[in-house]
């Protein structure tokens, strides 16, 4: 290729790097993993911590996490080798909603939840997009909340609640767009159904 911006058709063109022919997978792999706490959302870790790759056992296909969950959070994590889908699911332009269940210290007042609904400014000065927060249960100076956001900034949910002085004690992602965690046990994984794949791709216009 000598012209910037040249395009190739992978179904009819041969694409080589250093003389090695690249081949498209005959079928993409889509994995839903219930990430436990104390597992790193990477395929390898120089510090020797447990990674999501550890949980995938003998899976032969090389897949990569779509976005990330921090070390202390659990829940739904999608892994795939479908680069187009992964890019769109993580790009802010597509605004794919993500839902969490958060246990926070203290019981947030209605005014604090309204601040989150309007979009709150974080300690570092950045402003979050509006979040949909609903109280599921409140007792013993703790609250369980359902949190829905359309962004995916680093540790965004935790930073939002730090900003209203109700730090997150536990955080679990339960939904990514149309994809639900359901009753999948912690540490377990499964392949997506064809219907789930179609719904995800439709959500990002593929």
Residues forming the active site = 70
The full 3-state SS of 138-192, as one line of letters, equals EECCEEEEEEEECCCCCCHHHHHHHHCCCCEEEEEEEEECCEECCCCCCCCEEEC
Can you read off the two tokens belonging to residue 70? 């921090």
**How many of the other CB atoms lie within 10 Å of CB of 50?**
14
177 backbone φψ class: left, alpha, beta (φ>0; ψ -120 to 50): left
Q: Residue 196: exposed, middle, or buried by beta-carbon count in 10 A (0-12, 13-18, 19+)?
A: middle
Tell me 70's DSSP state. Answer: -
């Amino acid at each position: 290729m000598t012209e910037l911006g040249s395009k190739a058709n992978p179904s009819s063109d041969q694409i080589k790097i250093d003389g090695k022919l690249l081949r498209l997978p005959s079928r993409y792999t889509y994995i839903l993993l219930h990430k436990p706490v104390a597992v790193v959302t990477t395929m390898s870790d120089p510090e020797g911590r447990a990674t999501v790759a550890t949980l995938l056992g003998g899976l032969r296909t090389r897949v990569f996490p779509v976005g990330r969950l921090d070390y202390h959070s659990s829940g739904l994590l999608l892994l795939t080798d479908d680069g187009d889908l992964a890019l769109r699911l993580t790009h802010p332009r597509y605004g794919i909603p993500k839902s969490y269940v958060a246990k926070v210290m203290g019981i947030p007042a209605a005014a604090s939840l309204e601040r989150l609904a309007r979009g709150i400014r974080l300690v570092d000065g950045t402003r979050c997009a509006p979040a949909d927060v609903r109280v599921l249960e409140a007792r013993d100076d703790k609250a369980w909340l359902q949190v829905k956001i359309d962004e995916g900034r680093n540790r965004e949910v935790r930073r939002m609640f730090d900003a209203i002085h109700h730090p997150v004690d536990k955080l679990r992602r339960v939904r990514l767009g149309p994809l639900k965690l359901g009753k999948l046990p912690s540490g377990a994984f499964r392949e997506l159904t064809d219907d789930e794949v179609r719904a995800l791709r439709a959500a990002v216009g593929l």
